[in-house]
Structure 1
Amino acid sequence: MWVTWREATRRALYGDGGFYLRERPVRHFRTSVHASPAFAEAVLRLLGEVDAALGRPPVLDLVDMGAGDGVLAVSVLELAPPELADRLRVTAVDLSSRPEDVDERVAWVPAVPDEVHGLIFANEWLDNVPVDVVERTPSGPRLLLVDPATGEERPGPAPDERDLAWLERWWPLRAVGDRAEIGRPRDEAWASLIVRLARGTAVAVDYAHPVDDRPGAGSLVGYRNGAAVPPVPDGSCDITAHVALDACAAAGERAGARDTTLTTQREALRRLGVGGARPPLALAHADPRGYLRALGRASEEAELIDPAGLGRFGWLSQSR
């Protein structure tokens, strides 16, 4: 049966027995959360900044979108100093079942709370919001239909007027054969977080591209067991695509956000104290074990801010 990529991806990831309802992401791809505890430490520093900006309220929210195995939420809670931990209300949002080893202080829910006072952190969440794929043909843009069992594609109908308007503004297709992922559902998903942010900051972290440098062939890809695979939407692999974070930022502003910052993970983490600097060589003589620990930590931090790797991720931050 031929369906749109958006519908095929929704079924493959979140339908009955879907990939994300039965699999933990860490089995299939490595995120910044698992690369180093320095990532959770940086999120804690960011949370501290939000806390100070809000006047240190009696209850401060941390909402972890697409929590996966809950490592980020648990790590931030465990790292928080007692004064902050006592006020911290941590919510992990994920459609999968609650892992058995998640701290009981972490609420595990399928949808973002209606009102958030604090920090919403969406690490590699938007890239798994299903989107349609479109290709420019001699008669104009056409939705691509896919056979979920094989990944084979064929042209379908033209996108509707809202999607055509989004393409013209955010991902214009100039040449026959150019492809795009229509990011409007991600704009709407991000705006839905901003609406629920009563006071505080929302951050999205994802592989991204700007409007003046979109990939001509699109970015749709699958992941299974740590390797990129053809994106066959049969439920056997993750299906993902890079995010037009600039379009999400505009949607967030329409939803009431202000103080928008769009930067890279490298720059965001460096501002939050992740530098990747090697320890002084003199430490190797004075404290060999300490030197090895510090060297390992520096290596982890360097991976997080590597401009050719995780450091290329986009960071979108908006406040209300």
Structure 2
Amino acid sequence: MNEWRGWRDAAEDALYGPDGFYTRPGGPGPAGHFRTSVHVSAHYATAVATLLRRVDTALGHPAELALIDVGAGRGELLTGVLGALPAAVRTRLRPYAVERAARPPGLDPLIAWRAELPAPGSLTGLLFANEWLDNVPVEVVEADADGVPRRVLVRADGTERLGGPVDGADAAWLARWWPVLAPGAGPRPSPGLRAEVGRPRDAAWARAVRTLRAGLAVTADYAHDRADRPPFGTLTGFRDGREVRPVPDGGCDLTAHVALDACAGPAAERLTQRQALHALGVDGRRPPLALATTDPIGYVRALGAAGAAAELTDPAGLGGFGWLLEPVGAACTGLLTA
């Protein structure tokens, strides 16, 4: 069918329906279409393992320590973290992969694979969501010729038209978090300006945080701030490693940057990925040139590691991502900033 639908419903089916981009049987998973920080370098998993150990220490080394990976892909991050942990932590660890796709073959049996988050308040430890919220579908709105913000409707072939005016809770969210497109607030916006209404992401993140009884919840993603919202939105598609026009037919990823400031709770801390990874020991500095004379193989290895670390922390690339840290309980406050 090729009916007109709001972007949120259309993207939900295209990404997570029976034959969705992320859920179709036998698909390559996210790594077959784009690289996240997890796929760039093992440094990323090592950094998450370091953060997990800090959480463990802050919580007093509980008998069961949870690591919940939300939007786990094919389990690459959890696999890397497990490999980076000492036995004393690993034996107490309860790792959970939250992912709508089927469990991949060959995954460590220690990892529990779930389609939904565990029950609220049921776990103690670290919840980590890498590039998850940008795939939580949202409504897209656009100012019409008279400057009235209207919902953007789309068909499965990617054709768009404007629907009804934005009202209710979506209008209230725009007024608070994307004021240049707020209905009835000040001068009317210029025709063609667009926004993504992030209410579903705010709710999804709040639910994820509530999974923890105590610990730390972290999300890392493409992000923007209230004072610097992109005037034409950020909705786009990815297929086979290339950015493409967003088409909700199940054949491409559909992603939009995240208003992390709207998601943040009152105790949240925000960092760039560059700041966060530096605090966790990821350093992209080149090895000393003298090492090339004394240990040429070691020099080449260290140079490659430095290059991968530099890519993860590049402020014009992955290093510019936003990290949102939500402590649950006072023990895990300031683990990257103290």
Q: Same fold (TM over 0.5)?
A: yes
SS at match of 2:246: coil
Unpaired runs of 5+ in structure 2?
182-188, 329-338
The answer to whether the 8 A contact 2:285-2:306 is kept is: yes
Aligned counterpart, 2:336: none
Aligned counterpart, 1:163: 170
1:123 equivalenced with 2:130 (yes/no): yes
Aligned counterpart, 2:106: 101
Aligned counterpart, 1:301: 309
TM-score by length of structure 2 reads 0.91
Aligned counterpart, 1:276: 284
Alignment-mate amino acid for residue 132 of structure 1: E
1:176 Cα offset (Å): 2.4
Aligned counterpart, 2:16: 14
Equivalent in 131, 144, 151 of residue 143 of structure 1: 151
The answer to whether the 8 A contact 2:147-2:191 is kept is: no
Alignment-mate amino acid for residue 65 of structure 2: L
Q: Superposition RMSD on alpha carbons, in Å?
A: 0.9
Q: Per-residue displacement from partner, 1:119-171 (whole Å, max 9, x unpaired)? A: 000000000000000012216211010011x2111111122311100001101
The percentage of aligned residue pairs carrying the same residue is 55
Aligned counterpart, 2:332: none
SS at match of 1:157: strand
**Alignment length (residue pairs):** 312
Equivalent in 291, 294, 299 of residue 299 of structure 2: 291
1:216 equivalenced with 2:231 (yes/no): yes
Aligned counterpart, 1:246: 261
SS at match of 1:26: helix
Unpaired runs of 5+ in structure 1?
none
1:263 Cα offset (Å): 1.3
CA distance in 2 between counterparts of 1:101 and 1:160 reads 48
Aligned counterpart, 1:29: 34
Deviates more, 1:225-234 or 1:173-182: 173-182
1:69 Cα offset (Å): 1.1
CA distance in 2 between counterparts of 1:102 and 1:108 reads 10
1:113 Cα offset (Å): 1.0
Deviates more, 1:118-127 or 1:135-144: 135-144
- Show structure 1 runs of 4+ deviating over 2 A: none
Equivalent in 89, 92, 117 of residue 94 of structure 2: 89
CA distance in 2 between counterparts of 1:62 and 1:189 reads 18
SS at match of 1:135: strand
